[in-house]
């Protein structure tokens, strides 16, 4: 397992590369170009700048999250080929600096959805929270404004310049079905995967977060059955998964450890985090410790160890603890604790490998 940490750049992250370098076992940063509009071709000079910044601390930039997919591609609009061509050109440039994995998603409009960025927990820490009932009553634009006002940092997936056209986007999606979205995803994959394969870059789709419809929008990457269908759209090792235990784990019916074993050779990137779920559909992000949430992190890490996982992983989100002022979900402290918890599990499995009842 190759451990990484997400980094939003020198101008857009309270976490420094020096901070990340000091976390034991972290080999690289998971990055993106957050100032490039979705759908535009990434400039090579900006890509190389990130490589130089990370490289000066001995960190690799093997994993990009995300090269986002333009809405015209998801909607199947006439201009989708233009945006797919830009995507392909970006893949070719990323190959020049040795990128190995691209994490992306195919969620309409919203990359992820929460109703509270800093929900207070019993111990005084705060975390990202999804209140199901609140989402039923809130106007989507009201949620956009709330999120933009409550974060001092750029929030990928909630870019104001894109979401200011929210009403138009909802109008465009009103007649789009899940089957339409599947077909548009297949079209995208058939164009992109051969190029990714040619340049030895593996594509890993991220599950929908949360794994069900929000605001009536179709969502299709939500369960084991849907993941299998996705992989069969283009049955190629370069068409794979970013398996996120937190996104999928928000639905208690999803057995993430079973998915790890089932899709072992198609998981290119592992997001490992915990959530506590409630019967009414609410969930809150917790520490990575298995006992603190509803997701069996211990079982998931054991599954990765059992399959001999050598891909990339990151601790994904964390709580906001010890008074840290940070990007929602991306505090340094709790994610650093998460890294050590994951390595602790992994090391224990290594030491007991081959022993009875291990």
Known catalytic residues?
206, 244, 271, 316-317, 330
> Phi, psi at residue 40, to the nearest 5°?
-85, 155
Residue 57 tokens, joined: 């601390």
- What is the Cα–Cα distance from 247 to 259, expressed in whole angstroms? 13
Task: Find out whether the peptide bond into 66 is cis, omega within 30 degrees of 0.
Answer: yes
| Sequence-separated (6 or more) residues with CB below 8 Å from residue 102 | 63, 64, 65, 66, 67, 91, 94, 196, 201, 202, 203, 204
- At a CB cut-off of 8 Å and minimum separation 6, what does 85 contact? none
Please tell me the distance from the alpha carbon of residue 20 to that of residue 83, in angstroms, as a whole number: 34
Residue 72 sits at the vertex; the CA angle it makes with 101 and 110, to the nearest 5 degrees, is 70
Sign of CA dihedral 137, 141, 143, 149: negative
Residues in the chain: 358
Partnered with residue 130 across adjacent β-strands are 283
What is the DSSP secondary-structure string of 5-48? EE---TTS-SS-HHHHHTSTTEEEEEE--TTSPTTSPPPHHHHH
Q: Cβ distance 292 to 275 under 8 Å?
A: no
**Cβ-proximal residues to 194 (8 Å cutoff; 6+ apart), any chain:** none
331: left (phi over 0), alpha (psi -120 to 50) or beta: beta
**How is residue 297 annotated by DSSP?**
H
Q: Does residue 267 contact residue 309 with C-beta atoms inside 8 Å?
A: yes
Contact at 8 Å (CB) between 44 and 93?
Answer: yes
């Amino acid at each position: 397992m190759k451990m990484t940490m997400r980094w939003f750049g020198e101008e857009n992250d309270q976490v420094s590369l020096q901070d990340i370098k000091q976390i034991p076992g972290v080999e690289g940063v998971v990055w993106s170009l957050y100032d490039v509009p979705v759908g535009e071709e990434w400039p090579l000079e900006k890509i190389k700048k990130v490589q130089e910044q990370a490289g000066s601390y001995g960190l690799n930039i093997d994993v990009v999250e995300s090269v986002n997919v333009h809405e015209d591609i998801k909607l199947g609009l006439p201009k989708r080929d233009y945006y797919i061509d830009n995507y392909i050109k970006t893949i070719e440039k990323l190959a020049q600096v040795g990128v190995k994995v691209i994490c992306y998603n195919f969620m309409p409009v919203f990359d992820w959805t929460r109703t509270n960025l800093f929900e207070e927990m019993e111990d005084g820490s705060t975390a990202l929270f999804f209140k199901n009932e609140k989402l039923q009553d809130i106007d989507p634009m009201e949620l956009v404004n709330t999120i933009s006002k409550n974060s001092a940092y750029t929030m990928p997936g909630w870019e104001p310049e894109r979401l200011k056209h929210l009403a138009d986007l909802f109008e465009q999606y009103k007649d789009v079905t899940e089957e339409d979205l599947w077909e548009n995803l297949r079209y995208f994959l058939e164009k992109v995967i051969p190029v990714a394969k040619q340049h030895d870059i593996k594509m890993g789709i991220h599950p929908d977060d949360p794994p069900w419809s929000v605001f009536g929008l179709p969502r299709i990457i939500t369960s084991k059955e849907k993941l299998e269908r996705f992989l069969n759209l283009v049955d190629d090792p370069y068409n794979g998964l970013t398996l996120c235990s937190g996104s999928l784990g928000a639905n208690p019916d999803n057995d993430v450890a079973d998915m790890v074993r089932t899709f072992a050779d198609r998981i290119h990137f592992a997001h490992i985090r915990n959530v506590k779920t409630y019967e009414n559909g609410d969930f809150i992000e917790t520490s990575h410790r298995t006992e603190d949430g509803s997701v069996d992190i211990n079982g998931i890490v054991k599954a990765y160890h059992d399959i001999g996982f050598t891909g990339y992983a990151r601790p994904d989100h964390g709580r906001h603890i010890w008074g840290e002022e940070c990007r929602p979900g991306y505090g340094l402290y709790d994610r650093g604790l998460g890294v050590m918890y994951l390595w602790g599990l992994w090391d224990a499995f290594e030491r007991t490998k081959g022993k009875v009842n291990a």
